[in-house]
Chain A
Amino acid sequence: MSTQITSGSFTNVASTPYFLPLQQHVSYFKLTNASKLASYTSARITNVEWWDYMANGIAFVDAPTTVTGPLNASAVIRTQLAQNGISLYDSSRYTQGPTIAIASFVPGTTTVFTTGAPHGLQVGDNVRIVSLATAPQMGGIVMTVTAVGSTTTFTTLFDSSNALTSTGSVYKVGNVAVQNSSLYYPQNRAIASVSLANPMVVKTLVQQNYAIGDVVRFMIPTQYGMQQLNSTNNGLPLQFTISAVNNAVGTQSVTFANTDSSAFTAFAWAAAASYPYGLPVMIPQGEGNLNNLIGVVPAPLPYGNQNVLSFARQNTASRGLLIGAGDGTAAASTGGIIGSTTDTWYWEAHTSLQQFPQV
């Protein structure tokens, strides 16, 4: 039992919150923008401080401002950042964002939703859509935000071609830094689309983080078509080996070089008339030599797949601090620690020996 100080550095992705995993209790946290100290940009945050007595999401920040005059001197303004500051994060606990009304959506192979109020979502956030009165078949499904058109529009890979536009609700269940989910990887993934092609390409509604050489199977309810992917009635699973992966937000695809789906029945999200029904899912199985990726470049491994460990079940939960993103200033509504530039940050976390009063 002692006072602990840990420190480190990181480089942020522009306009993207940064998750800093820290096992210990953090009593005090200090953050310095090294990129903005040497040559500051007016109003951009350079220093951040946070104590565990403070509420989540806020922080004390320093932002230099140029003072007009003969020396063009700078003054440092210290303010309390009201949003997108420092938050404690524990990924084993379910969190849910505020419920935002959906005014409508545009049916299509990807879906653009329009909200009745600013949604505050960022590309990469996971959201759940519920209570769609005239498109109930889309309700309850989690999907990744692949684009943010404006403060009241966002896009996902959901194929709503067979749906009628509807009012409804949306709320965030995970963000770009920490996906709110089960503790364990890998997980089942709901399918957004399946190509009719050789090789077959499957897109998922959220990022899947699968890898080459992983083996999966499918469960596709009859309403979606493409029953060829389902395990048959002889009791043996029909399994597929992944040959390529693109986990970028908006692509979210896995490719199966050994599967020609050209002649399969088309996959399509069902219309409201089929409601209620189950989800079409891709299910991680393991790794193996059961359908070797012969001739696929790069070949996974020289001896079958015996060294592929990417589907090893593992607990990926963590706790730590979430460093918010906004416009990089202390502005009242648009402000946030991480701004639109790629910066290098130095941080220092203190764990007190004892606190008065205890937190």
Chain B
Amino acid sequence: MSGPTTTSILPPAVQQQLSMKLLARPMPDLIHTTMGYPITMDQQAGDILRRRRYQNLLTAPIPLGNGIVDPPAQQLTALDVDARIDWYGTYIILQEQVMLINEDPVLNSAVSTLGQSLRETEDQLARSMMEGAAPPINCTSGTNGDNPSNISPLDCSKAVRLLRTANAQFIMDLIEGEDKFGTAPVRTCFFGLTHTNLSADLDQMVGFQNVAQYSNTANLLQSEWGVMRNIRFLLSSVGSITPNASANGNDVYNIFIPGQESYDMVDLDGYSAQFIYAPPEIASPRLRLYQTAGWKMAQVFNVTNTSWIVNLRCTLGVAI
């Protein structure tokens, strides 16, 4: 045989190399647990956590006068708000041979994906709880002809008015104005938790201020998009959507706007999140054929004051 030796004649014995730098996984911003009030339930105390709120007494504007007869007494009443914890978990079974022949350390990735699964589950539970419990109000001042309409500045103001009239407390302090080109102060704010598909609609609103225009960006959250009146918006690809639910059959976007202490994030003492690994000698003691890894938690989310949270519902004005 004569002529050059090319790779057609002599290919590499192994044609590919697996890069040990694994590709990034999509990780949504988990916005729905950020405003929850964390509270821990004791073990061996039942599975329902009761929280109690006393009702305000009436004021007493009538002078007592100069007699000796007492005015009527008021009764002390209370509202009990309950939540039942449930257990959640998932796991992976890894056959021994998978560990022996894969080039990358599979168990490392298993642990990482399990951790992400746990946090995404928490976020989904919080979101779903708010979908059923946060009082819904429709955007009606938009111009797309649907019900709910697309979001408008006036709808934001109405939602804030509802919360403030119920004495809901803002989450964030105001950001004072500073002498920086293109920036403006930011009002005291609630947070609005919603889907990234609303970003274009928010940008379209007159008066919307992107985070880049805040006079101080020291305490921004990663998912924060900007502010409209007294609402700072956190966007996530796992924000809440009710499919095909508008008057015209379009998707409805839920914007949860919680005030301080409006919803609880309850876990069980010593059981908030557990990573459970069973090595082959435990999971498969006879021939050690596989190992398992999983997570488990006890958790419940609950709106504790329905007057301090709203679900501002809207449709898109800017089509996808």
Q: Which A residues contact B (CB, under 8 angstroms)?
A: 1, 92, 94, 96, 128, 130-132, 136-140, 169, 171, 181-188, 215, 217, 219, 231, 233, 235-237, 239, 275-279, 281, 283-291, 305-306, 308-309, 311-315
Contact = CB atoms under 8 A, between A and B. Distances in A.
Interface string B45-89: 000100000011000000000000000000001111111101000
A283 B306 contact: yes
Contacts of A136: 147, 247-248
Contact of B82 (A130, A277, A287): A287
Given A215-B79, A290-B77, A313-B303, 17 more contacts: A1-B283, A92-B128, A130-B247, A136-B147, A137-B247, A184-B128, A235-B167, A237-B306, A237-B307, A278-B148, A283-B306, A284-B133, A284-B306, A285-B81, A291-B77, A308-B80, A315-B86
A174 to B, nearest CB: 13
Interface string B120-147: 0000010011011101111010000011
Interface residues of B, number: 48
A287 B136 contact: no
Contacts of B307: 217, 231, 237
Nearest to A169: B249
A291 B252 CA distance: 36
A281 B136 contact: yes
Contacts of B300: 313-315
A258 B80 CA distance: 19
Contact of A96 (B136, B244, B303): B244
A288 B77 contact: yes
B93 interface: yes
Contact of B149 (A185, A276, A314): A276
Give the most central of B80, B93, B252: most A CB within 10 Å.
B80
13 contacts: A139-B246, A139-B248, A140-B249, A182-B128, A183-B132, A186-B132, A188-B136, A219-B135, A233-B165, A276-B148, A276-B247, A290-B78, A305-B80
Nearest to B52: A288
What 3 A-B pairs have minimum CB-CB distances, sorted nearest first?
A139-B247, A182-B132, A276-B147
A302 to B, nearest CB: 16
A184 B167 CA distance: 26
Contacts of A1: 93, 283-284, 290
Nearest to A140: B247
Contacts of A130: 244, 246-249
A188 B132 contact: yes
B247 A278 contact: no
A244 to B, nearest CB: 20
Given A96-B243, A312-B83, A315-B300, A285 B78 contact: no
Contact of B147 (A139, A169, A283, A314): A139
A310 to B, nearest CB: 9
Interface in B236-251: 243-249
Interface string B77-115: 111111110100000010000000000000000000000
B233 interface: no
A94 B244 CA distance: 11
A306 B80 CA distance: 8
B245 A313 contact: no
B48 A312 contact: yes
A101 to B, nearest CB: 12
B39 interface: no
B33 interface: no
A14 to B, nearest CB: 31
Nearest to A278: B138
A183 B129 contact: yes
A182 B256 CA distance: 14
Nearest to B283: A1
A287 B83 CA distance: 11
B132 A184 contact: yes
B136 A131 contact: no
A275 B77 CA distance: 40
Interface in B248-302: 248-249, 252, 283-284, 290, 300-302
A110 to B, nearest CB: 21
Nearest to A190: B136
A279 B138 contact: yes
B133 A188 contact: yes
Given A94-B243, A188-B132, A289-B77, A277 B55 contact: no
B200 interface: no
Nearest to B87: A315
A285 B79 contact: yes
Contacts of A171: 244
Contacts of A92: 128
Contact of B146 (A185, A276, A315): A276
